[in-house]
Structure 1
Amino acid sequence: MLNCKPIVGSILVGVGGAPKADWYTRKLYKKVLSDKYIHSVRDKNAQKLLISLGLKCEYTGCVTMWKLTPEFCNSIPNEKHEKVVFTLTDYNRNQEKDIKMIETIKRNYKNIFFWIQGAHDYMLEFLL
């Protein structure tokens, strides 16, 4: 492996890829990608690969779809607030992850607002 020290601990944002990688690529990914943080991937193939490497990742779609213009980014507050709005979905449940997320939200925010999106989302309110 060439000198990869400058990129050790890298975090992926909106990255795509094939579900399989050769031995060298897998070893390189394990060496340079952070195992402390959650990576963002744009497709299920990349997610499958990272999970197979024992890394944490979430399928977030492609960053190009996020509409992160300079004006929009400048409007995002960069200090933590006491209020948070979050949502869950009734059609793709993962109760273990949902509970973990809600516990984290409860520890970090004073005012919590649950945004109901679907007809059966109100049933998830018991998790609060």
Structure 2
Amino acid sequence: MITQAIRRELVEFGSDQWPSYSTHRHPSLGEVLQLRRADLLVAGGSNMLKSRMEINRQWLVTPDLAWSMRRKIVLCGVGWWQYQDDPNGYSRALLKRILDPSALHSVRDSYTEEKVRRLGFEVVNTGCPTMWSLAGSSASSVTSRPDTVVTTVTDYNRDPARDVSMLRSLARLYERVLFVGMAEQDLVYYRSDLQVEGVTEVGWGLDTLNSCLTPGVDYFGTRLHAGVRALQRGCSAAVLAIDNRAREISRDTGLQVVMPDGITDRAIAQAVVAGTAVGLRIPLQQIAMWREAFWRRLNA
């Protein structure tokens, strides 16, 4: 979802022709050569930044790869992995080596903005690119709670007691609770630890999620970007805030969240009722600033 959003937003810059690779693996030799030849690199989305980059699985940057990317990277909607202390010496040196010192960098929340600014870079909080298209959303005509809710869990942030509590609340609130795994391991976790009466497993993947998020359906679950996709499709949505991403984005934009220690039927119902795209604070001025600066950098 993040990759799709960034490519959609940057299409006017020719991004549909740009090569790309996943930050979750070391690039191939051919990709490394592409990185060396590039004049500019865009690092988009995800929890790519960390106070200990040497153990960051979200962005595998080895010293030799850092040399290939030196001072070329412009950030677009990037976040900081969890709440952390200041970066260690290695991480500060690495980030200063690979980030473009002349660019205006885009990050997804105020916490990340402060972290990047303290490293000495010019930065602006644009929010997550997946939410940029939500600006100007119109009000829904739905006036009562639907009978169906779509829900998710997160396999790499497991808390069976928390997640069962969420699912049981949803089963009490809705006639139909549809469970969608955003990753295949979500299904493994659900099947092993989270079987709750009244919840129906419907599959996994973005296509499955899209097919379930039809008009008149609500969303509530732990997967932040599943909630964003629900908002994109005109559904009411709220997120169980299990990490800093949802909490910080909620503070910045007004995205509706429920904290893990506050799971009740009433809290979930109130959050979902309030959870429409209408009234979200999308930082249009900051987005425009970054886009203008990126255009100048691209054509320098």
TM-score, normalized by length of structure 2? 0.22
TM-score, normalized by length of structure 1? 0.48
Greater Rg over alpha carbons, structure: 2
Instruction: Give 1 or 2: higher helix fraction.
Output: 2
Structure possessing the higher relative contact order (Cα contacts under 8 Å, 6 or more residues apart): 1
